Chain A
Amino acid sequence: MAAVQDGQMELDAEKETKPEILSDGTSNLSGNTASGTLSSSPLTAAPAGGAPKMEDQQTLIAVLQFLKRNKLTDSVEILRREAGLGEDQEDSQATDGSGGGKGDVDGGDANSLLSRVSITSAAAPQSVIIFHSIIFFYSYRFGKVGGADDQPDVSVVLSAYSQQGDPSLYQVYYSGLKNFIESVLDCHRAELSQLFYPLFVHMYLELVYNNHENEAKAFFEKFSGDQECYYQDDLRVLCGLTKKEHLKGNEVLLDFRTSRFVLRISRDSYQLLKRHLQERHNNQIWNIIQEHLYIDIFDGMPRSKSQIDSMSGSLAGEGKREVNKAKVFHGLLKEPEIEVPLDDEDDEAENEEGKPKKKKTKKDSLGSKSKKQDPNAPQQNRIPLPELKDSDKLDKIMYMKESTKRIRLGPENLPSICFYTFLNAYQGLTAVDFTDDSSLLAGGFADSTVRVWSVTPKKLRKVKSAADLNMIDKESDDVLERIMDEKTASESKILYGHSGPVYGVSFSPDRNYLLSSSEDGTVRLWSLLTFTCLVGYKGHNYPVWDTQFSPFGYYFVSGGHDRVARLWATDHYQPLRIFAGHLADVTCTRFHPNSNYVATGSTDRTIRLWDVLNGNCVRIFTGHKGPIHSLAFSPNGKFLASGSTDGRVLLWDIGHGLMIGELKGHTDTIYSLKFSRDGEILASGSMDNTVRLWNSMKAFDEVETDDFTATTGHIHLPDNSQELLLGTYHSKSTPVTHLHFTRRNLLLAAGAYNSQ
C-alpha cells in the first residue's frame, strides 16, 4: 500500500509538468468529476428538459433512503458526497415524500420506493431501469459489506414473479403458443418464434420462484430442446436453478429479469399474436409479454429468419431501434499542424538524398489530409484532450515520416506477418500489447507479473536514482539521455505489483506509461522510466478484464466482472464516468480513434458504444452468439469489428448503427482484431492458432446503406466470408493473443507457445 501511495506522489510530481490538463477540463470534466461515479448516469447528465433537476434529486433521495434503510452506510456517504446533497435536504424531502413507505417492513418498503420512483419519473421511463442499475451497482459494490444475505433488491426484482397460476398448466400454455406459432404463415413464424426463448425463461423462472420444482424441471426438459442453439449457454445456467433460493444472487437471471427482453416484431405479426392470446384468454402468457418483454413494433414487412438470426443472440434481445438513432460523431479529429520541425527534418533528409522535389509533394499530401474537416467529426474540444508536448510532436513527426514509407496493402499486396512467440510461458500469458511505434512489447501473465520487452536493439533503461540525478547537468542538451542509468539496461523488465492474473495491458501513446488490469480488481499505472508502479486505481473490486489508454493518452477505460466500464483519467483516483448497462461482464474495452467514444464488449453478447462526454450509451449492437473478446475500430472511425467465442467476426457501421458484415472462418475464440493502418485489411487472431486476413475494404464497399435499411435496421448480410478471406496463416501451436500493425503496415502477432 505504501508503495502505491508513493507512486501517487510521484505521479503528481510528474503531472506538474502539465497542469493545464486539469484546469483545461473545467467546462465539462470538472463539473462531472465533481459528481464522480454517478456522472455516468443521466441523473446529472440528463438532457435539459422541463424540470429534470427536481426529478433527479427526488430519485437520488429515494436511492439514498433505500441505501440507508439497508445499512449501506458507505454507499450513502459516497453517494451523498458525490451528488452534493446535504443531509438535511434529504431528510426533509424524505419526510414529505414517502409517508407510508417508512412504516413497512423490508420488502414492502422497497416496493413503495419503486412505485414512488416510477411516479416521479413517469415522463422518462428509462430512468426506472437506470434506477435499478444504480441500486444494483451500489448494492453490488457494497453488498458484501452490508451482509451477503441481506439483498432486498433481489426480492423486489423477483417479487414480480409471485403471481400464481396453475403450475401444471404452464406446459399447456407454452405448447399452445408453440402450436399456434408453428401454424401461422411462414412470414410470421420466424418473427413470432423469437418469443419462445424469453417466454420459456420467464415461465421457468416463475415456476421456480413459486416453488414448483418438479413442474419446472418437467417444463425445462420438455421445451429446452426447442430453443435456438446459441442460447445453450444460458440454458445451462438455467437448468441448474431449481430452487427459489438459487434465484437470489444469480446475476444472469437478475439481469434477465431487470431488463426487458427486447423483440422486434412487425405490426402484422404482433396483431396476430395478440388476437390469438386474447381469443384463448391466455392471460399467463399475455402477462409475461406485458411485464417482461419489450416488443418493438414496426410497420412493414416481417423479417426473414436469417435476418432475425443475424441480430439475435444477446442476453436481452435486440437493441431497441431508437437506441441506435443517436448521432455519433465518428469522424476523426483534425491532426494538429506541426509544420516547422517537419520541414527541418525533411530538409535534412532530402538534402542528404539530394531530392528536393519530393519534399513538396509530401508536404502537400500531408497538409491536405490534415486540413480536411470531416463533417462527422466531433468538435475538437468536445472532450478536453491533453496538449501535445514537445516529445509528442517529435513522435508525430516520426509517425508521419514512417507513414510515407507505409506499404499500401490490398488483396494483391498482403502484409508480412512477424510472429512473436512467448516461450516457456507455461500457459500463463494472458494479455499482450505493443506500443504504437512497435518498439516495446508488454505481456501480462497469470503469475501476476507484467513483463516489458524491447523488441528493438535499444535496451530498456531505468532513470537514475534521485541522488544521481542531482549530479547531472540539467542544462545540457542530452539531459534526457543523461538521466538514464546505463547499468540497468536490459532487454526486458518485470513489473511486480498485482496479486492476480493480469488480464489487460495497454501502453500510453507516449510510451511513458503502461496500464495493467488484473484479477485483483485494480488497474495499475506503471512508469516505463522508472519501471515502478505509480498508481493503483481501485473501484472495480472484481476482476478487471480489460483496459486501454485513449489514443491521446491521459484517459483510459477499464471494464470488468462488475458489469460496468469505467473511464478514468490518469491523475484521478476515482473514475470520471461509469458506463453501466451491460448485463454481464464487460470483457473488452476500446477507445474510438477520436477518443470521444468507448466501445465495450460483454459476456451478455452485446457491444455497446458509450459517449465519453455524457456517459450515454449511444449504440447497442446485437448479433454475436457468444461472449465478445475482441474489438477494433477502423482507422477512419466509421466501422467497428468485433470477435467472439463463436469464431465469427462481425462488422458494424457506427454511423448507421447497423451490422454490415459477418466473417466466418475461425473455429475458436477470436482474441485479437486489428485493422491495417489504412483500413484496407482486417487481421484476426484466434485461439485456433491462426491469423486470418480479411478484405475489409471490400466488405465495407459492398454494403448498401440505403435509407430504408438505415431506418428499419433490417439488414441483408451477404454470405461472402470466403471471398473476403485473403489468407490463413497457421502457427504451429500458438494461439494468437494480440495483433498489431506497425506504422509501415507490417503485421506483428504475439502469442504463447502451447506445448501440448
Chain B
Amino acid sequence: MAEERRQKLCSVILPTESMKAMAESVGVGSLQEDSCLALSEEVSYRIKEIAQDALKFMHHGKRRKLTTGDIDHALKLKNVEPLYGFQSQEFIPFRFASGGGRELHFYEEKEVDLSDIINTPLPRVPLDVSLKAHWLSIDGVQPAIPENPPPVPKEQQKTDSTEPLKAVKPGQEEEGSIQTKGQGASSAEVKGKEKMRMKPRSTHELSVEQQLYYKEITEACVGSCEAKRAVCVCNKCYLFLFQVRVNVVQNNLALLIYLMRMVKALMDNPTLYLEKYLHELIPAVVTCIVSKQLCLRPDVDNHWALRDFAARLMAQSCKTFSTTTNNIQSRITKTFTKALLDDKTQWTTRYGCIAGLAELGHDVIKTLIIPRLSVEGARIKAVMDGPVVSNIDKIGADHVQSLLLKHCASVVAKTRPLPDMVDQYKVDYGYLGTMLCSHVVKARAQAAFQAQTVNRTTLTITQPRPTLSVSQSGLSTSSGSRAPSIIKVPSSLTLMSTRPGTPTQPSPPATKYIVMATSAGAASTQQVITLSSSQSGSPVTSTVPSTPTSLQPLVKLESGNTGAVSGSRPLQKYIVVSLPSSSSSLENKSSSVLPSSTSPISMESAVKLERSESPAANTQSH
C-alpha cells in the first residue's frame, strides 16, 4: 500500500516528444531538446495544478467524476481562457495508436457533414429535473419498496436463508443492534407475507389484493419498462409458480414465455440469492417443460420452443444450484426419466422430458436417452407409419424424433468408434438408426473441421494447481461420500489424446480441450501418455462402447521431476487443461491414466459421482 502510494507520488512528467508534437502542430519546426525538457516540466506542473483545482470543483459539484467543466472552471481560476469545444458529459474517447516505437493517444475528431446534422431528426429533449419523494425509513425501518435498494445484500440473504435462527438474533450485526432488530423485523414480515401468499396458492384461490398484485407485477414484467421489471423481479420470485399455474390453466403461451424469460433474468442476476426461492422456481420451470398442454392450439403454436427454452433454463439452474443437500439434478433427472419410461406419456410431455434430459449434458444423453432410442424409435414408427390417430400426435412424434436426432447424434459421434455403418446403427438403435447414422456422419465432419481450426491455434495455458490434484487423487479412493466442496468444481476435464493424428482416437470435440506437450528437447516423443480406462458404463448403458474420450480425469501430469530419474531424458511437461466447456457434463466417470513413458508418472484421476438415483448412477471402478 505504502509503496503504491509512493509510486503514485513520484513526479511524472510529460515526454518531450509530446512537446515536439505540439510545437509542430502550431508551426514551430525545430525545438531544442533543452527547451522541450523545460517546457514539459513546466507544462506538467501546470497541468497538475489545474487538475488539483479541478478536483475541488468536482468535490463541490458533489460528483465522483471529473468533468471537462471542472477543468474549465479551474482554468478560469487561473485567469486562463477555458478550452472551448470540449463540452462532454461522458468521457472523451481517446484513441491509442502506436507505430515505429512511438505511442500516441489522440482524440478522434471526425469530419462532420453539416447537411447530415441538419437532416437528422432532432434528438429527444432531455427530461426536466423533477422531484420525487419516498420513504427511506419509517420509524427506523427501511420499507421494502422499489425506491429503496433490496433490503439486504446477497451475503446476508445467504446467512438469513441458511441460518435463519442466527439472523434474528440481535446484536451480532455490525450495523448495531437496532439495525438488526429492524432487519429482523422486516425479514420476519417478509416471511409472514410469503406464508400468506403461499396459502392460497395451494387452494388455487386468489384474494382481490393478490389478483391486483399479480396484475401489477405481471404488467411490470411484461411491460416495456426495464427498470420497473428489474425491481419487481427482485422482490417477488415466489409468485412465479403461482403465475405459471395460472397461465398453464389459461393456456397462455405468450405469457409463459415471458415468465420463463423472467426466470432466466432472475438467474442471470448476480446480486440475487435465489436459493431461497428454488422450491418455487423449479416446479414452475418443470411445468413449462413437461406440461401436457401449454397453449390453446397445440397443433399450431410453437410451444416446443418454450419447452426447449425451459429445458435449457432447467439445465442452467441444475448447474448453478445443485448441491449435495438439495440434489436438484438427481431429482430432476429422476422426474424426467420416470415420465419417459411411462408408456402412457403424451408426446408433448415426452418431448419435454427428452429435452430436459438432453440439456443436462452428453453424459445424461448417453446413459439415459441413447439406451432408449430403439424403444422411442418404435413408438415413433408406430405413429408415423400406422393409421392416422390424430394430427397432434403426429406432430408430437415428429418433434420428438428430430429432437432425439439432434441431441443423440453429437453424443454418438463422440462415443461410437468409426466406421459408421447404417446396418449396425439399425441394429443398435432400431427405427431411428438410419437417420441417426446420417446425422452422426454430419456431426463427425463438423467436429473434424473444428478440430483442425483448433489445432492451428494452439493455446498455451499452464495452470499448475497442485492442491487440486491432491484433493482429486484423494477423491478417487473415496467413492461414496465426498466433500460437497469438490462437487462444486465446475466441470471435469477430459483428457484427450496426445496423438491427434492417430486414427483410432477420435479428434477432440470442438474447441473445448487442448492438450499440450512442452518439452525441452525437440526429440522427445509424443507418446508419453497413454490412457487406459476402466469400463465406465453402467449396467444399463452397457451398449455404449467405452472409449478413452469418455474419460474425464481432472489432471495435471508432470513428468518433469520423475524424468530426472530416467537420466538422459530431457525435461518434459504435460499439462492437460480444459477450456471452460459450455455444457459441462455432470455425469461422472472414473478414469485412470497410465503413462507409458520411462518415468512412472503419478497420475490423478478425477472421479465424479452421479448422485442421482437414475439407473446409470452407480459407476465407479478402477
Contact = CB atoms under 8 A, between A and B. Distances in A.
A603 B55 CA distance: 12
B10 A417 contact: no
B89 interface: yes
Contacts of A725: 175-176, 179
Q: Which of A225, A235, A542, A727: most chain B CB closer than 10 A?
A: A727
Contacts of A237: 52
A627 B11 CA distance: 23
Nearest to A238: B9
B59 A669 contact: yes
Interface string A240-253: 11110110001000
B178 interface: yes
Contact of B60 (A221, A419, A545, A749): A545
B103 interface: no
B59 A645 contact: yes
Interface string A394-426: 000000000000000001011111111111111
A423 B129 contact: yes
A543 to B, nearest CB: 7
Given A224-B6, A585-B56, A728-B175, A416 B138 contact: yes
A250 B45 CA distance: 11
B56 A730 contact: no
A155 to B, nearest CB: 19
Interface residues of B, number: 56
Contact of A731 (B52, B67, B136, B139): B136
Interface in B530-556: none
Interface stretch (B140-148, B342-350, B366-374, B606-614): B140-148
Interface string A716-750: 00000011011111111001010000000001010
A622 to B, nearest CB: 20
Contact of A144 (B44, B48, B79, B176): B79
A455 B131 contact: yes
Given A225-B6, A603-B56, A726-B140, A416 B11 contact: no
A729 B137 contact: yes
Given A414-B140, A687-B64, A729-B137, A224 B9 contact: yes
A47 B288 CA distance: 89
Given A217-B11, A500-B73, A727-B179, A232 B5 contact: yes
A629 interface: yes
Given A561-B77, A722-B176, A732-B147, A243 B45 contact: yes
B225 interface: no
A378 B529 CA distance: 94
Residue of B130, B148, B182 with most chain A CB atoms under a 10 A cut-off: B130
Interface stretch (A7-15, A445-453, A646-654): A445-453
A503 interface: yes
Interface string B53-64: 000110111111
A430 B61 contact: yes
B41 A731 contact: no
A411 B77 contact: no
Interface in B8-50: 8-11, 41-42, 44-45, 48-49
B2 A221 contact: no
B60 A430 contact: yes
Q: Could you say which of A229, A669, A725, A749 has the most chain B C-beta atoms within 10 Å of its C-beta?
A: A725
Nearest to B130: A423
A419 B133 contact: yes
Which of B6, B61, B69, B179 has the most chain A CB atoms closer than 10 A to its own CB?
Answer: B61
B136 A749 contact: yes
A451 B129 contact: yes
B135 A417 contact: yes
B174 A722 contact: yes
B9 A232 contact: yes
B600 interface: no
A732 B271 CA distance: 14
A139 B133 CA distance: 48
A296 to B, nearest CB: 30
Contacts of A424: 126-130
B65 interface: yes
Contacts of B9: 220, 224, 232, 235-236, 239
B132 interface: yes
Contact of A418 (B62, B79, B133): B133
A224 B5 CA distance: 10
A507 interface: no
Given A421-B133, A422-B131, A416 B175 contact: no
Given A240-B48, A245-B42, A752-B62, 16 more contacts: A232-B5, A236-B9, A240-B11, A415-B140, A418-B133, A419-B135, A419-B136, A422-B131, A423-B132, A426-B89, A501-B57, A501-B73, A725-B179, A729-B137, A730-B148, A732-B148
12 contacts: A240-B48, A416-B139, A417-B137, A422-B131, A426-B89, A722-B176, A723-B176, A726-B140, A729-B142, A730-B149, A731-B149, A737-B62
Interface of A: 144, 148, 217, 220-221, 224-225, 229, 232, 235-237, 239-243, 245-246, 250, 411, 413-430, 441, 443, 445-446, 451, 453, 455, 492, 500-501, 503, 519, 542-543, 545, 561, 585, 587, 603, 627, 629, 645, 669, 671, 687, 691, 693, 722-723, 725-732, 735, 737, 747, 749, 752
Nearest 5 interchain pairs by C-beta: A414-B140, A417-B136, A417-B137, A419-B136, A424-B127
